[in-house]
């Protein structure tokens, strides 16, 4: 990992969770909890648990040596258990014989990962709450702020910026719900022993599993999931969906920041968004980071999905493919989320420019309103054709649509000048935008109760 770029694409807190020390401590927390659970049930001597737990501290281990040993062993848990046993043996030789009792390497690594994921979920949930709050403020403040709605990158009908913010808020709230639901399925121990039967613990295996889950405050899945990887794959897909939404928000902001549009801007900060050569530039740097994550994350999600196809009771290669992929997903998602939070909390809106852009077509974007008013009298197709013809003439003659309509006898026979003025006012053709914003905000309020 390149430290020069870490602050740009990742957060320090998430990097700390998935750093080598964090991965090691997760496995050691598993070993300490296992010893305590087995001692409580009388599976190992009670005196062994504190002796083992006392050595389960990452700072006591040589991570560089463990890394080299992992290359030979095939996974990190084998040298960790060996080193832990040696540390315990220096203090209590008898207790050293009960390190990792009844477990297998994947139990330690997967449960350690789950502990890391729990911490990661907490960070993501906190930032999602901040993002939702920022979007709610924007939706409420700009509920009546008209702007051009755009489809296929062209002006379509008027919308409000509040509606745009509410749309993003609705998606963010769904991600918060997914994360909440995901916790119950993903935050569970892994404990099955060599082949998932807990054979070395005899009939005590399920009881040890339950006690271990209680020690770690994780769920007990009831059966090992060594080769059933839907849990971690669901984490990946959930993060993929989240980053996709963040990418959509960033894309819209970047487009609104274009010089020719100028409707919204990332917050200003010293040294942010400048150019190495052009003093006038205000680049959408936050958007760039989020969009970069949106490009990278789908491929990582694909890796996690492909890794689900594993052999028999313990996979060969698929499990290994997850080790770097899922942490990278978490770090990229956290970085993109932090950038989006900052962006939305400090987003600068130019309402005058929004209105100016809305008026840039000289009424063309309101043609549907005119056709809709004529349809009951002319029929839908005839009214649409008349509106389309009027728009073509307005473009060809470089005239406002109002002038063209005013001179069209077919329109004049059905609509007064006041009617035309009313129909061409964007504020009168916002549909249920206000009501829709209120629904999203009300739904959010109900969810909090």
User: Annotated catalytic sites, by residue?
Assistant: 275, 314
Q: What is the DSSP string of 3-15?
A: TTTHHHHS-HHHH
Q: Which tokens belong to 100?
A: 């990792």
Q: Which tokens belong to 174?
A: 């769904």
Query: Which own/partner contact pairs does 218-221 have at CB distance under 8 Å and 24+ positions apart?
Result: 218/111, 218/114, 218/115, 218/118, 218/187, 218/188, 218/189, 219/184, 219/187, 219/188, 219/189, 220/188, 220/189, 221/188, 221/189
Q: Which tokens belong to 163?
A: 């509606």
Query: 289 and 337 in contact (C-beta within 8 Å)?
Result: no
Q: At residue 90, what are phi and psi to the nearest 5 degrees?
A: -65, -25
The four Cα atoms 412, 415, 417, 418 give a dihedral, to 10 degrees, of 170
- Reduce the DSSP state of residue 156 to 3 states and report it: strand
The CA-CA-CA angle for residues 169, 174, 175, to 5°, reads: 95
Distance of alpha carbon 253 from alpha carbon 284, whole angstroms: 8
Helix axes 77-91, 63-73, angle to 10 degrees: 130
Beta-bridge partner residues of 54: none
**78: nearest Cα among 88, 87, 67:** 67
């Amino acid at each position: 990992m390149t430290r020069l770029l870490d602050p740009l694409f990742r957060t320090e807190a998430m990097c700390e969770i998935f750093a080598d020390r964090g991965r090691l401590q997760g496995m050691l927390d598993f070993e300490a909890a296992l010893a305590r659970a087995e001692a409580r049930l009388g599976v190992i001597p009670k005196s062994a648990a504190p002796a083992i737990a006392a050595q389960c501290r990452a700072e006591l281990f040589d991570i560089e040596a463990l890394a080299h040993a992992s290359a030979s062993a095939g996974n990190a848990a084998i040298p960790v258990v060996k080193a832990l046993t040696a540390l315990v043996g220096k203090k209590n030789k008898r207790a050293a014989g009960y390190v990792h009792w009844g477990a297998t390497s994947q139990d330690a690594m997967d449960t350690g990962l789950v502990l890391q994921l729990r911490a990661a979920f907490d960070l993501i949930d906190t930032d999602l709450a901040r993002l939702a709050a920022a979007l709610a403020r924007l939706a409420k403040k700009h509920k009546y702020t008209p702007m051009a709605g755009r489809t296929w990158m062209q002006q379509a009908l008027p919308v409000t910026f509040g509606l745009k913010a509410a749309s993003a808020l609705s998606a963010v709230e769904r991600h918060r719900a997914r994360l909440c639901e995901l916790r119950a399925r993903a935050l569970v121990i892994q404990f099955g022993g060599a082949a998932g039967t807990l054979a070395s613990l005899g009939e005590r295996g399920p009881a040890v599993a339950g006690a271990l889950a209680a020690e770690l405050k994780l769920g007990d899945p009831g059966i090992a999931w060594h080769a059933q990887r839907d849990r971690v794959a669901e984490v990946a897909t959930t993060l993929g969906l989240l980053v996709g939404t963040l990418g959509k928000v960033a894309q819209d902001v970047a487009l609104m920041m274009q010089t020719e549009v100028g409707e919204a801007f990332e917050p200003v900060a010293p040294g942010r968004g400048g150019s190495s050569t052009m003093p006038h530039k205000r680049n959408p740097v936050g958007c760039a980071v989020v969009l970069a994550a949106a490009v990278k994350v789908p491929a990582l999600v694909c890796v996690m999905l492909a890794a689900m196809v594993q052999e028999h009771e313990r996979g060969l290669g698929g499990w290994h493919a997850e080790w770097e992929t899922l942490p990278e997903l978490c770090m990229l998602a956290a970085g993109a989320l932090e950038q989006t939070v900052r962006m939305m909390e400090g987003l600068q809106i130019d309402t005058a420019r929004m209105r100016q852009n809305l008026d840039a077509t000289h009424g063309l974007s309101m043609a549907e309103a005119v056709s809709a008013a004529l349809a009951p009298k002319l029929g839908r197709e005839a009214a649409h054709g008349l509106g389309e013809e009027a728009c073509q003439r307005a473009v060809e003659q470089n005239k406002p649509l109002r002038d063209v309509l005013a001179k069209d006898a077919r329109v004049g026979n059905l609509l007064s000048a006041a009617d035309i003025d009313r129909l061409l006012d964007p504020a009168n053709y916002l549909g249920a935008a206000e009501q829709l914003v209120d629904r999203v905000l009300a739904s959010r309020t109900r969810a909090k109760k």
